[in-house]
């Protein structure tokens, strides 16, 4: 395994899926009921099966080609590539629909440029990433995620897990069953890619 590879999730790490999905839901006439919730069923006060179906519908729609970037991801990922030689492998649980996957590739190429990607791996909507992460076992690659469960899996496999901080993975969110888990307590969390960049390169500080 090359030591210049960084593994990343996509939604909530590279792209602001939550914002785009919320706007799409409003256009469907489904309003936000619990703004600070991440779980779609709770956020919009709908049944679980309906939430799952709507997420799948959105993920397989043309909207996926037009997601905005998350915060300062574009600038600092390009900087990691051009100044430090890192290449990225994106592991995303988007859809097993080949057309949706092509739209994801299109979105990532448009935002970040094709040159930074070594590989983009699309899994079925909501799928676990355990088996894909297995092939990177003990590589020491950085693994950038927003879902605590996936960060913990990577950590246990010998990856260098880093969490992109959101309300849904903050230690202040008592509803997150992993929030106070010893396995995740040592995983660093950063709200900006600037801080992730500094953490990886050893440049600057990790503060605001």
Question: For residue 20, what pLDDT is reported?
Answer: 98
- pLDDT confidence bin for 207, thresholds 50/70/90: low
Q: Tell me the Ramachandran region of residue 117: left when phi exceeds 0, alpha when psi lies from -120 to 50, beta otherwise.
A: beta
130-141 pLDDT tens trace: 999 999 999 999
pTM, two decimals, is 0.91
Q: Is 9 helix (H, G, I), strand (E, B) or coil?
A: coil
- The sign of the CA dihedral 103, 17, 161, 189 is positive
Question: For residue 181, what pLDDT is reported?
Answer: 55
Q: Residue 176 phi/psi, 5° resolution?
A: -80, 115
Distances in Å between the Cα of 176 and the Cα atoms of 52, 122, 128, 161 are 19, 26, 17, 18
User: In the predicted model, is pLDDT for residue 205 greater than 50?
Assistant: yes
- The sign of the CA dihedral 61, 122, 106, 197 is positive
- What is the DSSP pairing of strand 160-164 with strand 189-190? parallel
The mean predicted confidence, pLDDT, of the chain is 91
- What is the DSSP pairing of strand 142-145 with strand 117-123? unpaired
Give strand pairing partners of 164: 190
CA distance 112 to 200: 19
CA distance 82 to 92: 23
Percent of the chain with pLDDT over 90: 84
Termini Cα distance of the chain: 33
50-78 pLDDT tens trace: 999 999 999 999 999 999 999 999 999 99
150-193 pLDDT tens trace: 999 999 999 999 999 998 887 644 344 444 455 677 899 999 99
Average pLDDT over residues 42-53: 96
Average pLDDT over residues 102-120: 97
Q: Is 21 exposed, middle or buried (0-12, 13-18, 19+ CB in 10 A)?
A: buried
CA distance 193 to 53: 31
CA distance 192 to 34: 24
**Rg value, the chain, Cα:** 17
């Amino acid at each position: 395994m090359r030591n210049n590879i960084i593994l990343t999730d996509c939604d909530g790490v590279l792209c602001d899926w939550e914002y785009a999905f919320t706007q799409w839901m409003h256009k469907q006439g489904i309003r936000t009921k619990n703004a600070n919730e991440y779980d779609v069923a709770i956020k919009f006060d709908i049944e679980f099966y309906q939430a799952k179906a709507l997420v799948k519908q959105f993920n397989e729609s043309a909207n996926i080609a037009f997601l905005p970037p998350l915060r300062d991801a574009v600038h600092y990922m390009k900087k990691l590539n051009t100044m430090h030689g890192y290449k990225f492998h994106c592991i995303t649980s988007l859809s097993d629909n080949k057309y949706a996957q092509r739209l994801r590739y299109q979105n990532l190429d448009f935002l970040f440029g094709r040159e930074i990607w070594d590989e983009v791996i699309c899994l079925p909507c909501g799928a676990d990433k355990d088996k894909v992460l297995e092939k990177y076992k003990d590589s020491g690659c950085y693994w950038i995620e927003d879902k605590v469960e996936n960060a913990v899996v990577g950590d246990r496999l010998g990856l260098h897990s880093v969490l992109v901080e959101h309300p849904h993975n903050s230690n202040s969110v008592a509803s997150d069953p992993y929030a106070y888990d010893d396995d995740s307590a040592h995983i660093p969390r950063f709200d900006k890619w600037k801080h992730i960049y500094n953490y990886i390169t050893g440049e600057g500080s990790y503060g605001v």
